[in-house]
Every structure is written in structure tokens, then in C-alpha cells.
Amino acid sequence: MRGRLGWMLGALVLCAGAGCSRRVPEGTPAEHAVADADAPTVYVAKRIRTLDSAKPEAQALAVRDGKVLAVGTREEVLAAAGATARVVELGDATVVPGLTDSHGHLAGLGQALAGVRLEGTASLAEVRQRLEKAPATAYQGDWLVGQGWDQNDWDTPRFPTLADMGEHLKDTPVVLWRIDGHALWLNGAALKRANITRDTKDPEGGTIQRLPGGDPSGVLIDNAMDLALKALPLPTKEQHEARMRSALEHCARVGLTGVHDAGMDLRTFRLFQAWDKAGTLPLRVYAMADGQTDDRVQYLKDGPFQGKLLTMRAVKLTLDGALGSRGAALGAAYSDEPGHRGLLLLSPEEYAFRVHAFVGRGFQVATHAIGDRANTLLLDTLSRELTTTGTKAARPRVEHAQIMTAEDITRLGANGFVASVQPTHATSDMPWAEKRVGSERIQNAYAWQKLKAAGAVLALGSDFPVERPDVLAGLYAARTRQDPSGQPPGGWHPDQRLSGEEALEGFTVGAAYASFAEAQRGRLKPGMDADFVALSVDPVDAPAADLLTGQVRLTVVAGREVFRADAK
């Protein structure tokens, strides 16, 4: 199969529903380029899963003016649509409501697609080989940028050092993000540019890994990363736009109609505002303001934003690091590093201050919390803030909710918090997670069914580019808690698996609720937004393994085809 994208900035746009195309002059907004025919479009498929309890399955749906006009049997929908309706036959496909990744990073995905890809490397030697073959797109200024290394996957599972980078790029500054985005690996040239020496002190909430003699080893964890990133040249305007186009195209290709961007920088937000105004933003983007950096000052000044497909109503705050780099803030020490409890990236006082400021401006607070100590602090702070201000409807979000106490799981559900969790994190972390926290704490880790039982709404995502934004892989991980080879047998802590319908709801209904859009999206029923995806596999009833080879055939946003797979 080859893919055809239904959007290009000022170039080629696919007509909604009919698959037709027309050329338009450079710079013409797509909203004016598409012929807004009065006739509805009818899509017919083997099965349409509506997630509407009144009519859970159908064979056809009609779309007009970006909304669902009718859902039902072929005959019912054709009658409702009228004799002039265009008909699109989807054959044996299963259509589901628009799939949304509830936690991703579009700027990070764009950078990952352009840079040196280090995911899946099995050794330091393989890392060096990939660096030697770096594409031209991987450079920002004269710095080489890469992403995705994970020491847990290497034949020597330890943090790398300066010496491990090799000599090939000794005069070129190199900065490589760990797969979780919570650690950097630099070479000597990059350390020199950043002026990081043995005399540089660890910042609050960060660690400079050191060699036995006290010199920097080349790895910076959490807030220490800022020491290097302030020296890294920004992508040029052209690089930035190309990366964001690439990221959005990739998301449409894998069947996403929407993304909740977890911590959008102001530069990217301004670009998306311009694209949204011009009608060339292809997906729905629920942007969380970056509340961690100085961009938060402007976001607080501007307040929430609502465009056509772009919404800014939430703020992303980050309380701790990641479990893989031992930055997650735990109540007791790491089981595999005695005396170490991880890192809080914001002090309790600063976190409370930022929460209060953003709640006061009408923002939903979405907080990264992985360790149990961070989750307790989050729940204490938000519960106090919402009780004091009386803003219970603010729907605070816990981003990740990975390691929790039983008491905090109960509190999270009882107090109306949204659990924004990532199924593929569990299947990526399962080989080593118990080593980090031990057999007792792991019982309340990645505990999706326990969260549901407590009353929490689950919004599912991937945390791309930490994981792939492939939503079919997310559905598979949610249902099986296994790796692609089917290991471990029966699944990792299988009592926490989700059913096929629960998993689908997490990427649809749950995502809509988490972004205050449950009245517009998440289900396919008349009057709701015409966001849907056609898949070669039924995500609910088909064997879970079939999801790994399933294909996205069509992605539709607001009635417009933004991706269509065509036979060669």
C-alpha cells in the first residue's frame, strides 16, 4: 500500500469524501480550495463501530459540512443523504470514531523523524554506526542531533560516557536524547560548547553524571539537560516548518485524527495558529501550554485559545523524571539503587504556585507524574487547589500515573481526575520496571483496571516520540500487555489488561472527555464531528495479534480526508 495525504500547505487538497483532487494557487488556504458541495458523502463499510449505545454498530454513515448526518444501514443512510449523495465504498474495512493520541509531542516527533534514529539499538557499536550515517537533516547549526537511545536495550546496560561516542565526531557537538526525553548524552565538543566542567554544580532537580574523578561523563538527567540545551542552536524557520509538517503527516498516516500535545512550545503554537487560521492544519490539536519554561509567562498573559482545529486550554507541568533513567520521584529508594529516590523537577511550593496561576486563568492542569512520590504531591496540590477555588469541573489530568499507591489510585478516581496513560509504556518497561521498584510497588504500577475501578476516565496515548505514534500498536498493548512476539505468555500483570472495547474507548471517548469535547467527538452519531478512521482490522473483535499487521485505509477529520491508502 502507498499513502496519499489529503493536505499540503497551499498545494494539493483532497475533496471531502470523494477522493478527488485539484490544484490551487500557491498560498491559497485549503478551506477555500475545497469545493464545498451541498451533497453529503456516504461511507459504506463492513462494520462501523459508533460507540453510541443507542446504535453501537452500523454499515454506513453520511457526512455533510464536517458533521455526521446519519448512521445506520446502507438503505437508511442513503435515504437520509438523498439521491445526490456521493458514495464511498470501503469494502471489508471497520470504521471507528476518530482516534486521538492523548499524550504526544509533535515537535519531538518532527525532530526524531529528521534526526539520527537510535531506537532499537542493541549496542554502543550500533549507536556509533548510526551516527556515522547521520542524514543532513539531523544537524541544527553545526550540532548533530539524535534521539531514542536506551541503555536497558544494550548488551552493556549502563549509562554511556564520553568515550563511548567514539572519535568519528570528536570535533562536532553531538547531543542525543534518551528515549524517554529525560536524559541527554553529549560528546566532549558539546560539553565544551555548553561550558559544563567538573566545577559545574548539579542544578535543582537535575543530575550531571560524573566519572570517578569528578569530570562530567556526558550524561545529563532532567533539569541538568537545560545546561546543554541553552547552547543548542534552534532549528531554522524552514527546518521547524518542515519537521512539523512531517510530524502531522506521520500522525495522519497511522490513523490519528487528533493529538493532545503535552507541552507545546510557543514557537510551535504560533505556527499552528497560522496554519489553523489558513485552514491547512490537518488534524485536531489539543495543545497543552508548556508550563515548565519561560513560555509560560506569555501563555498566562494570552489565556486559553479556541480556533478551528486548534485548541489551547490546558497547561503541562512536569513534576518528576522517568523510571528508566531513575528520575521518577519515589517515596522509598529505588530497589536497584539504594539511597536514591529520584528527582522532583519542581519544588512543592513552585508547583503549587504554577497550578494556582494557571487554574486562575482558566486552564486545565495536566501534570507529568511517574513516581509515587510525585503522584501523591500532585493529588495533594490539585485537590487542595480545586477545593479552595471551587473549580471541580477543571478535570485535572495525571499524565502517566505509572507508579502509585493504592490510596492514591482511589483518590485519583474519587476526585474526578483523568488518568492519561500510555499502553506501550507498560510493554516497553516491563523487562526492567520491577527491578526499579520491587515486587510490592509494581502491583500498583501501570494499573489501568484499578484506575478504572476507582472511577477514573482513561485517556490513552503513546507519548511519542518516546514510543511510536502507531495507534494500532497501542491498542494491541492495551489488550495484551505483551510485546509483539506475544511475551510474556498471558500478558504482564494480565489482570490490568483492557478489553478491545475499553482500549478503543480510551483512544476515542476517553480522549474526548479529557479535552472537554465529549459532546462533539469520541462517538459517531448525528450532529457530532465527522472524525473517523477506516481500518483493515476490527480493533475490538479481531485477534489482538492482527492489530500488529493491520493497516489504516482512511483518516477523516471534520469530513475531510487527510490520509487515504491507495492500491499500487
- Identity of the residue numbered 330: L
CA 61 – CA 502 distance, rounded (Å): 23
187-246: per-residue pLDDT in tens?
999 999 999 999 999 999 999 999 999 999 999 998 999 999 999 999 999 999 999 999
CA–CA distances in Å: residue 447 to residues 286, 420, 437, 442:
25, 12, 14, 9
C-alpha distances (whole Å) from 77 to each of 21, 292, 420 are: 25, 49, 36
Rounded CA separation 412/369 (Å): 12
- C-alpha radius of gyration, the chain, whole number: 23
Residues of the chain with pLDDT under 70: 1-37, 391-393, 567-568
Q: How far apart are CA 536 and CA 515, in angstroms?
A: 28
All cell numbers assigned to 347: 519544588
For residue 135, which of 242, 47, 220 has the smallest C-alpha distance?
A: 242
Task: Give residue 512's identity as a one-letter amino acid code.
Answer: A
> What is the DSSP secondary structure assignment for residue 549, as one 8-state letter?
G
The rounded distance, in Å, linking the Cα atoms of 187 and 164 is: 9
pLDDT tens sequence across 26-60: 333 333 333 335 799 999 999 999 999 999 999 99
Dihedral sign for Cα atoms in the order 32, 33, 39, 45: negative
Looking from the CA of 463 toward its CB, the CA atoms found within 13 Å total 22
Closest CA to 118 of 38, 197, 175, 44: 175
Q: What pLDDT shows up at residue 14?
A: 35
What is the rounded CA–CA span in Å between residue 173 and residue 163? 14
Q: For the beta carbon of residue 520, count every other beta carbon within 10 angstroms.
A: 15
Which pLDDT belongs to residue 392? 59
Q: Residue 128 — left, alpha, or beta (φ > 0 → left; ψ -120 to 50 → alpha)?
A: alpha
Helices 406-414 and 372-389 sit at what angle, rounded to 10 degrees? 30
- Nearest Cα to 208, choosing from 181, 179, 185? 185
Neighbours of 567 (CB within 10 A): 5
H/E stretch holding 535: strand 532-535
Query: Any long-range contacts for 30-36 (C-beta under 8 Å, 24+ apart)?
Result: 30/278, 30/279, 30/280, 31/278, 31/279, 32/279, 34/560, 36/65
Are 459 and 101 a contacting pair, CB within 8 Å?
Answer: no
Q: How far is CA 101 from CA 261, 405, 470, 528, in A?
A: 9, 26, 9, 19
Contact 260, 461 (CB under 8 A): yes
Contact 30, 77 (CB under 8 A): no
Strand segments, DSSP code E, in 422-499 are: 457-460
Number of Cα atoms under 13 Å in the Cβ half of residue 118: 35
Q: Phi and psi at residue 228, in whole multiples of 5°? A: -90, -40
Mapped onto helix, strand or coil, the DSSP state of residue 566 is: strand
Q: 474, 423 in Cβ contact below 8 A?
A: yes
